């Protein structure tokens, strides 16, 4: 790790004001991703601002039937919270599918949203990477790219966002609350992360001087019909090759509303609302699930080692829908 200076923020306003004073300063909370990146010399902040003492570690009712998860609530505390388990079991399952028990005890809500890609070239400072060193090139395109993206890629970057929790939050239609120099504002979850385009160094639309304070869950939690299916190289403690969060509202054998978010396939949790709409009012049949799966990957592009993900994503969508409708028991 490079040497850095350190301060502890006592208030939200103090944290936002401290980050604005130094453009090489970073907030730190759980530290599970940032410290790892600092040990690899991928991240070299000059100053760390410890936000762990800010009053953002609570889960509260929002007043419109939803829940507000403070940015500092740990992944474990969110996943095992009784209200989350009852009303948003999809979120709980997605969180528990990720990382290890130790990491979930440390990692926070805000940090999960801001975690960086696990692309091996991003981590290896001896190789080019447009995300780590803009303009240096992409080692993954034409290189080893088994874990890389198949949707929404650019000729600059094919990295994926590694989160499980964010895939569930995307399906649930969460809202991100942010405080910056101009006060508090919100971002819809679909507008928080971004595609790489020509600026893959930017993972999100959060500005450098802004702090995530909470994630709001809407009232509708899809507690009855949902599934989180994660396909990975080993059964536990591995990132997703492909994951699918499926959330359904059923009316007898018909689908009233379907939400599908995919992880491991793009630079952000991937939702295709046009494809989801194909299921509205349709019978819950495998044939209809296959049609949606085809639509989701219609524009998918493989890069060699990861081309298998196109077929894998299709099958995972169908199986997640089978699980969410009760046709198949979750494995």
Partner 1 sequence: MSHSRNQAHEAPPAGPPSTQRITLQVNGTEKQLEVAPWTTLLDLLRETLGLTGTKKGCDHGQCGACTVLVNGKRINSCLTLAVMKDGAEVTTVEGLATGQTLHPLQEAFIEHDAFQCGYCTPGQICSAVGLLNEGKAKTVEDIRELMSGNLCRCGAYPNILAAIDQVRRAREGSGGP
First to last CA, the chain: 41
The answer to whether residue 236 forms part of the interface with partner 1 (CB under 8 A) is yes
Stretch that binds partner 1, among 98-106, 144-152, 164-172, 294-302 (CB under 8 A): 98-106
Strands 211-217 vs 175-180: parallel, antiparallel or unpaired = antiparallel
Instruction: For residue 147, give the nearest of 230, 240, 238, 235 by alpha carbon.
Output: 240
- Which residues in 55-84 contact partner 1 (CB under 8 A)? 76, 80
**Binding piece for partner 1, criterion CB under 8 A, among 62-70, 101-109, 296-304, 309-317:** 101-109
**Long-range pairs, 319-323, Cβ under 8 A, ≥24:** 319/229, 319/244, 320/227, 320/228, 320/229, 320/244, 320/245, 320/246, 320/260, 321/227, 321/246, 321/248, 321/258, 321/260, 321/284, 321/289, 321/292, 322/286, 322/289, 323/227, 323/229, 323/246
Q: Which is nearer to partner 1, 6 or 298 (CB)?
A: 6
Q: Which residues are CB-neighbours of 36 under 8 A, at least 6 positions away?
A: none
Among 47, 83, 290, 305, binds partner 1 (CB under 8 A): 47
Stretch in the footprint of partner 1 (CB under 8 A) among 42-50, 199-207, 282-290, 312-320: 42-50
> What binding mask, one character per residue, do residues 14-33 give for partner 1 by CB under 8 A, x or -?
------xxxxx---x--xx-
Q: Which stretch binds partner 1 (CB under 8 A): 43-51, 212-220, 221-229, 309-317?
A: 43-51
Q: Identify which of residues 114 and 260 has a Cβ nearer to partner 1 in the complex.
A: 114
C-beta of residue 178 within 8 angstroms of C-beta of residue 292: no
Contacting partner 1 within 196-235 (CB under 8 A)? 235
Positions in the binding site for partner 1 (CB under 8 A): 1-6, 20-24, 28, 31-32, 35-36, 39, 44, 46-48, 50, 52, 76, 80, 99-103, 105-106, 235-237
């Amino acid at each position: 790790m490079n040497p850095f200076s350190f301060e502890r923020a006592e208030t939200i306003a103090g944290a936002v004001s401290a980050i604005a004073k130094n453009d090489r300063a970073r907030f730190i909370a759980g530290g599970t991703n940032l410290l790892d990146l600092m040990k690899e010399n991928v991240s070299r902040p000059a100053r760390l601002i410890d936000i762990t003492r800010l009053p953002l570690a609570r889960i509260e009712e929002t007043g419109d039937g939803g829940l507000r998860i403070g940015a500092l609530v740990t992944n474990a505390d969110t996943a095992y919270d009784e209200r989350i388990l009852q009303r948003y079991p999809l979120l709980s399952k997605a969180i528990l599918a990720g990382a290890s028990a130790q990491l979930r005890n440390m990692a926070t809500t805000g940090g999960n949203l801001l975690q960086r890609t696990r692309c091996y070239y991003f981590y290896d400072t001896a190789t080019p990477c447009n995300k780590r060193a803009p303009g240096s090139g992409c080692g993954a395109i034409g290189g080893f790219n088994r874990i890389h993206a198949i949707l929404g890629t650019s000729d600059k970057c094919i990295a994926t966002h590694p989160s499980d929790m964010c895939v569930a939050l995307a399906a649930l239609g969460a809202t991100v609350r942010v405080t910056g120099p101009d006060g508090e504002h919100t971002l819809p979850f679909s507008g928080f992360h971004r595609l790489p385009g020509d600026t893959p160094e930017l993972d999100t639309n959060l500005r450098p001087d802004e702090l995530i304070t909470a994630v709001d869950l809407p009232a509708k939690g899809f507690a009855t019909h949902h599934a989180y299916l994660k396909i990975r190289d080993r059964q536990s403690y591995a990132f997703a090759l492909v994951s699918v969060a499926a959330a359904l509202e059923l009316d007898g054998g018909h689908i009233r509303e379907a939400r599908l978010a995919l992880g491991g396939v793009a630079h952000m949790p991937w939702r295709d609302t046009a494809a989801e709409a194909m299921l509205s009012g349709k019978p819950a049949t495998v044939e209809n699930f296959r049609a949606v799966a085809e639509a989701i990957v219609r524009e998918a592009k493989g890069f060699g080692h990861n081309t298998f993900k196109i077929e894998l994503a299709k099958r995972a969508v169908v199986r997640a829908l089978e699980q969410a409708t009760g046709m198949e028991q979750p494995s």
